[in-house]
């Protein structure tokens, strides 16, 4: 991959390292005794700090995942070139859109 | 005959990192869609969460939690080698990564109850 | 043919990209190297077998081939180290190279990538006014020394999965050499070399499988040289942006 993609992937990796530790800790805590929508939404509703954190998380992963997938597809399949890059750009937009929507959903529900 | 380069610990780490990444990349859009069901109210999200209590789904959920932990710990190892000139001499770093990831998985199961 | 305590069963690749293994029965001898076996096959059994060697004492790297799945120097590989009582030996040409014939491969692309990575010393426009003073203990010289003993044998290139997956990947040897030159204070290539090693299939394509480091017969660690390039490229790039 190019130096720019490499930088983007490693930089978002550093961000995600922290975010994932927080997310895993949250998951382990939240699933105790079963998970209900009420419990989740009770914590996320109107919680600006939460929305900012997970908004940043979504942005970082939307950048990180497509770059990783690009390496996998270029190395393990014959697909490469412009069409691959466009497909992955669309995947980036998909993650950003769906992720943003999910953050909004639990913030406003 | 398995070629010698595929018996190296670095290759094992890279393959686990790559496969867990692929699993997460497939999982993420589904995860976002599931959470967005809250747009239709808490009951809608609850209906989805009920599905996740089925044994097969719960097992896959455990798999994704472990995949996330594996991807993170092995990713940290790569960052250490690339940016902190970490010289790996033994199996210990990879073992620690995998042990931590499976510990997370174990706690997950315990907490699911 | 089943091997015994006294006889080796040796499968040798014959042909080029398409071909097959031909089996030979070779007596086990004390202190035998794999190169001894190949030579005996070619001299006593089948004069049409093609293979390479030169120094036969572990200095030139010409005899590199894949022995029982692993790339190594046949002159420095004892048969007793790579076979058990079963006595099976499987000899193949180096992976990731175009096969010329049997166990001999075409090294052209390997050395072309060396050039593409600017793995050569750049003296610059003006000759230096005086001898360079390079203290051996400086971090740059130590980094260069750690990778300088490479003789271009191709074992690392053969072992590398990324080379197998991406035909354009420059490969561990070329990148390792570039790293030694990046650390050579006399060299004038500067940013041009960093640009050469950081393209689409440059140093960033390395996924730290570390087979190169595991198999290098000179105990060089291309993985860490490539990591050094990754860091240097980023630092230089970030400095340009800021």
Domains annotated for chain C, with CATH where assigned, are 7-105 (3.10.20.30), 107-241 (1.10.1060.10)
Secondary structure element (H or E) that encloses residue C215, with its range: helix C211-215
**pLDDT of amino acid A42:** 86
- The rounded distance, in Å, linking the Cα atoms of A103 and A62 is 14
Q: Domain with A32 in it: what CATH number?
A: 1.20.1300
**pLDDT of amino acid A44:** 86
| Domain ranges across chain B | 13-112
**A29-43, A94-108, C150-164: least confident range:** A29-43
Residues in A closer than 8 angstroms to B74, CB to CB, are: none
Identify how many contiguous H helices and E strands chain A contains and give both numbers.
Answer: 4, 0
Find the CB nearest A101 among B36, B69, B113. Answer: B36
**pLDDT of amino acid C85:** 64
pLDDT along chain C (242 residues), means of 10: 82 97 94 96 97 96 96 96 85 97 97 97 88 93 97 98 97 98 94 94 97 97 98 88 70
Average pLDDT, integer, range B17-25: 98
Complex-level ipTM: 0.93
Contact C204 A3 (CB under 8 A): yes
Closest Cα in chain B, distance from residue A35 (Å): 7
Q: Assess if CATH 1.20.1300.10 describes domain B13-112.
A: yes
Average pLDDT, integer, range A18-30: 94
**pLDDT of amino acid B39:** 85
Dihedral angle sign, alpha carbons of residues B19, B24, B25, B27 = positive
**pLDDT of amino acid C1:** 67
Closest residue in B to A13 (Cα–Cα): B75
Closest Cα in chain B, distance from residue C127 (Å): 34
* A27, C228 Cβ separation under 8 angstroms: no
Per-residue pLDDT of C177-223, as tens digits, reads 999 999 999 999 989 999 999 999 999 999 999 999 999 999 999 99
Tokens for C109? 């692309």
Question: Which residues in A9-33 are b (16+ Cβ under 10 Å) and which e?
Answer: bbebbebbeebbeebbeebbeebee
How many domains would you assign to chain A?
Answer: 1
Is A14 in CB contact (< 8 Å) with chain B?
yes
- Confirm whether pTM is higher than 0.90: yes
To the nearest 10°, the Cα dihedral for C51, C65, C1, C7?
90
* C201, C161 Cβ separation under 8 angstroms: no
Closest Cα in chain A, distance from residue C230 (Å): 8
**pLDDT of amino acid A84:** 97
Q: Is the pLDDT score of B38 beyond 70?
A: yes
């Amino acid at each position: 991959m190019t130096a720019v993609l490499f930088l983007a992937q490693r930089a978002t990796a550093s961000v995600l390292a922290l975010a994932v530790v927080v997310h895993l800790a949250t998951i382990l805590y939240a699933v105790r005794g079963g998970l209900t929508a009420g419990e989740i939404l009770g914590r996320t509703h109107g919680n600006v700090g939460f929305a900012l954190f997970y908004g940043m998380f979504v942005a970082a992963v939307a950048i990180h995942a497509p770059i990783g997938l690009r390496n996998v597809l270029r190395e393990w399949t014959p697909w490469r070139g412009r069409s691959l890059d466009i497909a992955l750009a669309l995947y980036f937009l998909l993650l950003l859109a769906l992720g943003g929507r999910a953050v909004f959903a639990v913030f406003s529900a | 005959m398995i070629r010698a380069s595929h018996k190296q610990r670095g290759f094992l780490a890279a393959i686990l990192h790559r496969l867990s990444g692929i699993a997460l990349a497939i999982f993420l859009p589904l995860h976002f869609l599931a959470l967005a069901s809250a747009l239709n109210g808490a009951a809608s999200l609850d209906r989805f969460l009920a599905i996740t209590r089925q044994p097969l789904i719960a097992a896959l959920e455990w798999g994704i939690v472990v995949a996330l932990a594996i991807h993170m710990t092995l990713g940290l190892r790569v960052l250490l080698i690339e940016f902190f000139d970490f010289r790996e001499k033994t199996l210990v770093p990879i073992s620690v990564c995998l042990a931590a990831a499976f510990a997370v998985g174990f706690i997950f199961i315990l907490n699911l109850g | 043919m089943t091997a015994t305590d006294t006889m080796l069963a040796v499968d040798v690749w014959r042909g080029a990209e398409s071909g097959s293994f031909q089996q030979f029965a070779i007596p086990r001898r004390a202190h035998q190297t794999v190169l001894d076996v190949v030579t005996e096959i070619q001299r006593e059994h089948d004069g049409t077998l093609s293979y390479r060697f030169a120094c036969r004492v572990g200095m030139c790297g010409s005899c590199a081939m894949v022995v029982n799945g692993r790339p190594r120097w046949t002159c420095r590989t004892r048969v007793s180290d790579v076979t058990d009582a079963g006595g099976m030996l499987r000899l193949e040409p180096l992976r990731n190279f175009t096969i010329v014939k049997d166990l001999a491969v075409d090294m052209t692309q390997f050395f072309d990538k060396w050039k593409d990575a600017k793995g050569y010393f750049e003296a610059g426009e003006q000759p230096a006014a005086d001898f360079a003073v390079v203290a051996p203990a400086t971090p740059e010289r130590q980094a260069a020394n750690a990778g300088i003993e490479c003789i271009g044998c191709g074992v690392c290139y053969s072992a590398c999965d990324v080379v197998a997956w991406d035909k354009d990947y420059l490969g561990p040897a070329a990148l390792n050499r570039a790293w030694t030159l990046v650390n050579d204070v006399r060299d004038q290539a500067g940013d041009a070399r960093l640009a050469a090693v950081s393209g689409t299939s440059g140093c960033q394509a390395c996924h730290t499988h570390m087979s190169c480091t595991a198999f290098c017969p000179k105990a060089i660690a291309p993985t860490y040289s490539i990591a050094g390039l990754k860091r240097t490229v980023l630092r230089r790039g970030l400095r340009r942006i800021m």
